[in-house]
Structure 1
Amino acid sequence: MSGTLYGLGLGPGDPELLTLKAARLLSSVPVVAYPAPDRGESFARAIVAPRLTGKREIAVVIPMRVDPAPAQGIYEEAAERIAAVLDSGENVAFLCEGDPLFYGTFMYVLERLRDRFPVEIVPGISSVMAGAAAARMPLALRGETLTVISATLSDEEIAALLEHATAFAFMKVGRHLPRVRALLNHLGLASGCVYLERVTLAEEKVAPLAEAQEPAPYFSLILGRRELKR
């Protein structure tokens, strides 16, 4: 009998935001896998590092580049390494900062293994939800729609998405902060925006978008609302 692949959402960074279910499953598996940058430590691993004693680890090292082509081969290799463990009957937990299915590496492993092995996914608190709590900003009221936007999109694509948005969240801000901030100023939306970085961590920063310092780290986001009459 093959093992089960668990996709565990670990939350935005504060270890106390790990769910009870994720903690229970993590304690039960002999092997963990997690994404890691080609420089520096894995953020997902760092969240639960004290819980990993005695476990075997599979680091999925992903180059931090715009071109997605090299990553595809890495996902293939990682999936096969995980598959070998599952074929032996052992369970594997794939560690995901935030939620496994929200801008997460796990999705690429999932699509390669979902038809071959049992899979269980445990949701986690995303940075958008944690950011709203830190900023004390409602994400959506009554019949409003929350628009989630990748800051990697072009100005034209972003402007089109914002045209009818009442509330919005920018992910993957990082090096795109100057361009996105300039665009929001141009569209008259910057005054309703809050900039956040390293949400729930000791280094957390929350500030009006106009006061955000450059360069922005990878783990940064912008939350905004259009001023509406109620």
Structure 2
Amino acid sequence: MTLKAHRLISGARVVAYPAPDTGPSLAREIAAGSIAAGAEEIPMIVPMRTDRFPAQEVYADAAERIAARLAAGEDVVCLCEGDPFFYGSFMYLFARLVDRFRIEVVPGVSSLGACAAALRRPLTARNDVLTVIPAPLPDAALRARIEGAQAVAIMKLGRHLGRVRRLLDELGLTVQAGYVERASLGAEAVRPLSEAPDPAPYFSMILLYKGDDPWLS
């Protein structure tokens, strides 16, 4: 969390955050020490499961609850897991509110940077191109993007970890890949990809460098 985010959360009278329908909100747990006593909380319940659910209805309802506080003159701080505009669900709230209210987006520490730091290796170098790939893509699309890249970050692993690892095995790239889960949190784990759990936590990432920059030597 940045110092600016801490300052805004600590001074907020209304705090909104995503939460699963079972268990605690990770976003709230991360920011818990910054939320002021007595602050009103708006949990946005987003079911975390593989089958489809009416996600847009969830965001529409949350946007209207937040809009009611904004229209009453309150400022609302909305917590995000990661960066708001990097695969972040906040984009769906932003689209529903930006035409009616002033919104300031405070960027977070990107998971890309956090995982690279945990692995103690650069993401990419010089003129190499970094390709960010969501693991749920079909095998053919994953293979094509990996083969055409110098540096690769594979996100949203979860139940796709085994499939992605098999593909990297076929390409002879597993030994070059590093695995990080829950980067920057207390339960952070850093492992060679060969030792990664299957399934993996949702908050996990594979970093792979295929370039030939001298930092490797």
When the two structures are superposed, what TM-score results if normalisation uses the length of structure 2? 0.93
Aligned partner of 1:6 in structure 2 is: none
Of 18, 22, 26, which residue of structure 1 is paired with 2:5? 22
RMSD of equivalent CA atoms: 1.4
Cross-structure match for 1:40: 23
Q: How many residues align?
A: 213
- In 2 relative to 1, CA 125–229 (structure 1 residues): closer, same or farther, beyond 3 Å? closer
User: How far does the alpha carbon of each residue in 1:162-218 deviate from its partner, in whole angstroms, 9 at most, with x for none?
Assistant: 121111111111111000000111122212100111112222111110111223112
Write the distance in 2 (CA, Å) between the matches of 1:131 and 1:229: 20
Alignment-derived partner of residue 141 in structure 2: 157
Cα deviations by residue, 1:62-110 (Å, 9 ceiling, x for unpaired): 1123455511100100000000010001000110121111111111100
Q: Which moved more, 1:107-116 or 1:209-218?
A: 209-218
Does structure 1 residue 51 correspond to structure 2 residue 34? yes
Aligned match of 2:87: 103
The amino acid of 1:36's aligned partner reads A
Instruction: Tell me the residue number matched to 1:169.
Output: 153
Alpha carbons 2:18, 2:27 under 8 Å: kept: yes
In 2: Cα distance, 1:43 partner to 1:93 partner: 16
Provide structure 2 residue ranges, at least 5 long, that are not aligned to the other structure: none
Instruction: Tell me the percent identity.
Output: 55
2:164 paired with 1:180: yes
Do the aligned partners of residues 135 and 229 (structure 1) sit closer, same or farther apart at CA in structure 2, a change above 3 Å counting?
Answer: closer
Q: 2:103 aligns with which of 99, 106, 119?
A: 119
Return the alpha-carbon distance in structure 2 between the equivalents of residues 187 and 155 of structure 1.
Answer: 12
Higher relative contact order (CA 8 A, sep 6+): 1
Identify, as 1 or 2, the structure richer in strand: 1
Structure 1: state its 5+ residue gaps.
1-17
Contact 1:193/1:223 (<8 A) preserved: yes
Change in Cα spacing, 1:203 to 1:144, as seen in structure 2 (3 Å) is same
Distance 1:229 1:29, change over 3 A: closer
TM-score of the pair, normalised by structure 1: 0.88
What does residue 205 of structure 2 align with?
221
SS of equivalent residue, structure 2 residue 183: coil
Contact 1:100–1:124, Cα closer than 8 Å, also in 2: yes
Pick one of 169, 178, 189 that aligns with 1:194.
178
Alpha-carbon contact 2:20-2:48 (below 8 Å) kept: yes
Is the 1:192–1:227 Cα contact (8 Å) retained in structure 2? no
Q: CA deviation at 1:42?
A: 0.7
